[in-house]
Copies of this chain bind each other. A is one copy, B any other.
């Protein structure tokens, strides 16, 4: 391992170019897409990325993390390990890296449509912009046994550093893919036999507790602020809404995903009712 460890002290070192300006999500998106990479932050996420089989390009660690991650580094082929001070990591990345450990990985290849449409439960996100929401939706989808997530062309990147973090690594485990053409791919989901369910506060929406889905469900979740667009709502088989108390007009989209994800989950185990 030793010969792959490189001590760095110049924040402009070109070897570190994968790690620049990590808070600039627009710059990162174009940089990460063009290089086919993503950034994992913190020991836990770095471990999950390696466990998910992603190939490491390099590590950027404060030296105190060398030991804690040595097993991961050992298993990551010949990816170089750059070691620097907290100040250096901050200068390169543009923020205080709380856990002092970063790694650049190759992006896994996009999942095929066959893969993401193989199960009975998928969530479909339209133009979600907030990375925390994106990560939360992946996390809750994975936890509640949903099979995959599809994101529209305009949605945030599930592999952006903060999205992976909010997903607790679910972005690296649960099958997901981006649409090629929103309209055609929505039709593709419909044609695959899913009951396409829009979450929308429209007049003819069915209250969630009164709704019984068919066997396969595609749950459409709208953008922050405006919710699903009229054409997505029109393309759905039905709209459902979560009944809300008077004076409350909306729920956060990740909260709505959690509630609908629970209420519409696949075949809940038919256990006995327990009354303590």
Query: Interface residues, chain A, CB within 8 Å of chain B?
Result: 132, 136, 139-140, 142-145, 168, 170, 173, 206-207, 209-212, 237-238, 242-245, 247-248, 250-252, 254-255, 258-259, 261-263, 268-269, 271-276
Cα distance, A239 to B252, chains bound together (Å): 27
Q: Please, which residues of chain B bring their CB within 8 A of the CB of A251?
A: 139-140, 143, 258
CB pair A273–B210 under 8 Å, yes or no, is yes
Cα distance, A47 to B108, chains bound together (Å): 46
Q: Please, which residues of chain B bring their CB within 8 A of the CB of A144?
A: 242, 244-245
CB pair A268–B139 under 8 Å, yes or no, is no
Given contacts A206-B274, A238-B276, A254-B255, 13 further A-B contacts (CB under 8 A): A132-B132, A139-B248, A139-B255, A143-B244, A143-B248, A143-B250, A144-B244, A145-B245, A209-B268, A210-B272, A243-B269, A255-B258, A262-B263
CB pair B250–A168 under 8 Å, yes or no, is yes
Q: Please, which residues of chain B bring their CB within 8 A of the CB of A248?
A: 139, 142-143, 170
- What is the oligomeric copy number? 2
A212-B274, A269-B243, A276-B237 as given contacts; A255 in contact with B140, CB under 8 Å: yes
Cα distance, A268 to B263, chains bound together (Å): 13
A267 to chain B, nearest CB (A): 11
A255-B254, A276-B238 as given contacts; A271 in contact with B207, CB under 8 Å: yes
Q: Please, which residues of chain B bring their CB within 8 A of the CB of A139?
A: 248, 251-252, 255
Q: Please, which residues of chain B bring their CB within 8 A of the CB of A263?
A: 262
Identity of the chain B residue whose Cβ is nearest the Cβ of A140 in the assembled complex: B255
Q: Please, which residues of chain B bring their CB within 8 A of the CB of A173?
A: 247
Q: Please, which residues of chain B bring their CB within 8 A of the CB of A262?
A: 242, 259, 262-263
Of all A-B residue pairs in the complex, the 8 with the closest CB atoms, nearest first, are: A258-B258, A143-B248, A145-B245, A210-B271, A143-B244, A259-B262, A238-B276, A210-B274
Q: Please, which residues of chain B bring their CB within 8 A of the CB of A273?
A: 210, 212
CB pair B259–A211 under 8 Å, yes or no, is no
CB pair B168–A276 under 8 Å, yes or no, is no
Identity of the chain B residue whose Cβ is nearest the Cβ of A250 in the assembled complex: B168
A41 to chain B, nearest CB (A): 17
A228 to chain B, nearest CB (A): 17
A216 to chain B, nearest CB (A): 14
- Identify 5 residue pairs between A and B in the complex whose beta-carbon atoms are under 8 Å apart, listed by A's number: A132-B132, A210-B272, A211-B274, A237-B276, A254-B255
Cα distance, A209 to B170, chains bound together (Å): 24
Identity of the chain B residue whose Cβ is nearest the Cβ of A208 in the assembled complex: B262
